[in-house]
Amino acid sequence: MVLATLPVLAVLLARAYAGSVHSRATHSSIVLENGAEFGAYHPPTTFEVFEAGIDTPLTARAEKRSFKDNALSFLHDRLGSEAVQYRSGYEGEVASHVYVNQHFHGIRVSNAMANVAQNKDGKITAFSSSFLRNPRKIASSTPKLSSQQAVARATAQLGGALIPGREIHLEYLAIDSGNVELVHVVPVEVDGLRHVLAYVNAATGDAVSVINQSFDASFRAIPPSLNNPNDGFSLIVNPEDPLASPNGWTTINGVNTHSTNGTNIRAIIYTTKATIPESSDDVWDSTWDATVQPTVSANARAAAINSFHLANVIHDITYRYGFTESAFNFQGNDPVIVNVQSTITTNNAFFSTAPDGTSGQIDMLLWTRTNPRRDGDVENDVMAHEWTHGLTTRMTGGGVSTCLDAFEASGLGEGWSDSFADWLAQTSATLKDFELGVYVFGSNLRTKPYSVDPARNNYTYSLLQQSSNDPHFFGELWAELLHLQLDALVKEYGFASDAHTNPDSTAGNVVWLHLFIDALALQPCNPTFLQARLAWIQADANRYNGANKCLLWGVWAGRGIGINADSSHVDNFDLPADCQ
């Protein structure tokens, strides 16, 4: 797959870039659809690691020190206290990290950065810096052009439009002449698709630099609407959603890991704990061979790439529909960790939930019913099912991840997970019957397919009267109900092929996913089927002013969970009076 790099500063050239001699470590280029080429410059970066860790100026002090203060004392010592401006930082499980920018006159230099990592003992284990040592000339800190004037100049020069909702910043920018220019940083959409940051000289109005924020990416993976190796792998180019993942899938705090490790997802081979590096510049590729064991090196690599790709796709889809940072998603300091080909057991898959701020963990396992064995990492509906547990446990109860523990609530959780995998697999207005896990298991993991045909699935609310102790079994009722809701909405409003990235569509499959996610935030901790049904109806009232009330009630009542259903789990087929 092709992944994003550390924000690349691209200098807009008035002449052709071809033929210029630049180091690949400090320069790159991007080309717009109209053929205009932009060169990119990064000040040279130094990088040091200290295996056992080294002390900071605060080490000898008796009082407890914060990881931020400790790191800044080291950075001030190395770079000068007058040069360092704190940008961000966080504490991880085994290390803490602090990121800073160089600044002049209190204004940060956008492309002059430094960062340190320290272990739990407070010792520095890594340090990098692209700070400028002796700038030739530093521009005045007072802009001659306003931000509004800079927007006009940027959009005119790049042939684009200001990106709505994005802020304009005043910053310094180092350029390869050795000068430091004062610039307005203007977010612009060009070519009708690509997002860039234009650095407009605050004195002259010239666009002196451009950052490409639409990152080219290619993943050899099974497309999300397909399911397993029998459907085929494709080289999928540019799958990252610029809204949900503006820095791409392999960046952490602006630093490109060049591996299956990013702000949303960290996919590792369980037995080695290693992420998968790129196979060439920003490309993740491997060939799947079904005739050999999935643990063969090339297959393990293909499995990790597929899991990383799909988990990020689902992150980006659900982000569009409301599962954002403020809604307790997995992003930033709490990405989902995917253990590829986990050996904790076989013939299953697991999501280990965690409260907001702590990473959830997915264990994808090998299945032993065939020879060669089969790998859940390359069956998309298995990953989609597990990932959705993270969505539902985070959004129910406000990020605590403890509100789907009651038995009925647990059954709902299993049903939601099957349902999202079902939604992801649909490709047209004629819904396909859906079965889960057929590739790894050899047949449907559930007792019946999810189907609009009552001859294939006739489950009703009274199913909950049965004595099974398996929440998956009762989840089948909820997933069947949501399959029918999806069918009803698609029949009413049609099917949108761009539903993954266009939540503003009025198509039925888009309406369905909005109700799915909106209802999670409405329902109580440990909801019952009746309460989850009520939250679904209320979600429609909140978002669509109740336009679909009777259509939705028709589905609920049709399977015995009507307006007068109660906790006895006796089928009730009554509609509300205003829907009769």
Any known ligand binding at 385? yes
Long-range contacts of 161-164 (CB under 8 A, 24+ apart): 161/188, 161/189, 162/186, 162/187, 162/188, 162/189, 163/187, 163/188, 163/189, 163/195
CA 541 to chain centre: 28
Nearest C-alpha neighbor of 340 from the set 372, 305, 313: 305
Q: State the Cα torsion 480-481-487-493 to the nearest 10°.
A: -150
Asked whether the CA dihedral 369, 372, 378, 383 is positive or negative, the reply is: positive
- Backbone phi, then psi, for 420, in 5-degree steps? -65, -40
Continuous segment of H or E residues that includes residue 544: helix 529-544
Place of tokens 């049965």: 466
State yes or no: 483 annotated in a binding site.
no
DSSP per position, 330-395? S-SSSPEEEEEEE-S-SS-EEEE---TTS--EEEEEEE-SSSS-EEGGG-HHHHHHHHHHHHHHHH
Assigned token pair, 477: 């009722």
Residue tagged active-site, from 386, 408, 435, 476: 386
Q: What is the CA radius of gyration of the chain?
A: 26
Give the C-alpha separation, 147 to 70, whole Å: 37
CA atoms within 13 A on the CB side of 338: 32
- 189 given a catalytic annotation: no
CA distance 409 to 283: 41
Q: Contact, 487 vs 479, CB < 8 A?
A: no
- Cβ(225)–Cβ(428) under 8 Å? no
Q: Give the CA distances from residue 156 to residues 11, 150, 166, 209, in Å, rounded to whole numbers and listed in that order.
A: 16, 10, 18, 15
- 221 neighbors 1 (Cβ within 8 angstroms): yes
Q: Among 502, 483, 472, which Cα is nearest to 555's?
A: 483
Whether 191 has a binding-site annotation, put simply, is: no
The answer to whether 97 is a known ligand-binding residue is no
Distance of CA 147 to the CA centre of its chain: 31
Binding residues: 216, 385, 389, 414
Report, as residue numbers or ranges, the catalytic residues: 386
Binding residues for Zn(2+): 216, 385, 389, 414
